[in-house]
Structure 1
Amino acid sequence: MFDKFKIIPSIRRLKELNVALNSKPDILLLSEVHIGNLPALTSMCHEKNKLVLVNIDMIGGISGDQMGIKLLKDLFKVDGVMSASTMKVNIAKSLGLYTIQRFFLIDSRSYETSLKSLKTSKVDAIEVLPAPMAPHFVKEIRNVKDIPLLAGGFIKDKDTLNSIREAGFDGVTTSERNLWSIENKTK
């Protein structure tokens, strides 16, 4: 999935979906959805050959337990999930979904806890937030587990995007529409 540096549009408002559907990226993150609109949104994305990721922690109307995650896969046809919860991403992985675990750089304690959970996690990738702080932690994270790294949060311009890329990240998630059309470059 990360053979090139990926810019993953994070769709926070439905009016942004059409722009994302017609953008270059082949993966979309439906950040704030509910079960009432998820089947139609997933179908629209798949019709445009886009993979669909959802943030389990922010989906309205569904639980993040095994049955809820199974519904996301079987009924709502999502391709992958992201969550800050190791338990949720491990359940999703066991059900065959692509998984991204979110790490929030709040303080040293939360960071250390994230690294510990990474050791037992079966995730496919990690998203480190906020992006401007993420480059400081690349080496330590890769020492624990060498998997694709994404950065997210506060990516407002090309300079921030380029600093993330140069730090060795495999991609970003961003709600900044003006960044969605930037060409994904080979790493």
Structure 2
Amino acid sequence: METPQLLELLAAGPVIAAVKDEEGLAQALESDVSVLFLLYGDILTIRDTAERVREAGKRVFVHLDLIDGLAAREISADFIARSTSADGVISTKAALTRRARELGLVAIQRIFLLDSMALKNVERHFSHESADLVEVLPGLMPKIIRRLCDTTGRPIIAGGLITDKEDVTGALGAGAVAVSSTNPAVWRM
């Protein structure tokens, strides 16, 4: 999958199911969402889990930092590219997302904005080569989402603490291309 294809999917359905366990996976596979973020698993199960998502006709992104048995090294992106049917990866580590892009995967860099210093670091150090999209957490900051859209020049996904329609419309109205949520009620919006 290429970034323009992902953006088309998100334009048609801007809610992403962020799945943290088997129960959530079952609900997400039955939902209308077309994109899933896998936030759990291990090196023994991730291939089969990604394949289940693809067989359900959905796109799947693996959060490299949360898969047991993967190291915070570039070889983790190689493993996902060679051993799974994942469309892309998510990571807080620019080296991992950069390597994923080199391998032809869509790369999403996850950024936690805890304070103004974290925001300034993103603005100073974000590399356009490191990611195709940026996921910002928490996603309940419309002014900051607007600012990051301008600063990074990349499509923004708002994640974290998204719980209702107001949160979704606020993030999308601020310029986010999508929202990610672990809340199944949000997936049904």
Pairwise same-fold verdict (TM > 0.5) = yes
- Deviations, residues 129-183 of structure 1 (Å, cap 9, x unaligned): 10112x122333233332211100001111111111111210011001011122x
Report the CA distance shift for 1:97/1:149 in structure 2 as closer, same or farther (over 3 A): same
Report the CA distance shift for 1:105/1:39 in structure 2 as closer, same or farther (over 3 A): same
* TM-score normalised by the chain length of structure 2: 0.89
Taking the aligned partners of 1:167 and 1:140, their CA distance within structure 2 comes to 9
2:83 match: 75
1:185 match: none
1:152 match: 159
Taking the aligned partners of 2:106 and 2:163, their CA distance within structure 1 comes to 26
Report the CA distance shift for 1:120/1:170 in structure 2 as closer, same or farther (over 3 A): closer
Looking at both structures, which has the greater relative contact order when contacts are Cα pairs under 8 Å and sequence separation is at least 6?
1
Give the drift of 1:120. 4.6
Taking the aligned partners of 2:127 and 2:69, their CA distance within structure 1 comes to 31
Which secondary structure state, in structure 1, belongs to the residue aligned with residue 162 of structure 2? coil
Matched residues, percent identical?
Answer: 27
Taking the aligned partners of 1:119 and 1:16, their CA distance within structure 2 comes to 33
Taking the aligned partners of 2:128 and 2:106, their CA distance within structure 1 comes to 16
Taking the aligned partners of 2:133 and 2:41, their CA distance within structure 1 comes to 22
Note the aligned Cα RMSD (angstroms). 1.5
- The one of 62, 65, 74 equivalent to 1:66 is 74
- Count residues in correspondence: 181
- The one of 18, 28, 31 equivalent to 2:36 is 28
Taking the aligned partners of 1:68 and 1:105, their CA distance within structure 2 comes to 25
Matched, 1:130 2:126: no
Uncovered stretches (5+) of structure 1, i.e. residues with no partner:
183-187
Answer 1 or 2: which has greater helix percent: 2
Which secondary structure state, in structure 2, belongs to the residue aligned with residue 132 of structure 1? coil
Instruction: Report if aligned partners of 1:42, 1:76 keep a CA contact under 8 Å in 2.
Output: yes
Amino acid at match of 1:161: V
Instruction: Report if aligned partners of 2:146, 2:175 keep a CA contact under 8 Å in 1.
Output: no
Taking the aligned partners of 1:167 and 1:43, their CA distance within structure 2 comes to 34
Amino acid at match of 1:66: E
1:57 match: 65
Give the drift of 1:125. 0.6
Instruction: Report if aligned partners of 1:9, 1:174 keep a CA contact under 8 Å in 2.
Output: yes
- Quick check: 115-124 or 73-82, which moved more? 115-124
* TM-score normalised by the chain length of structure 1: 0.90
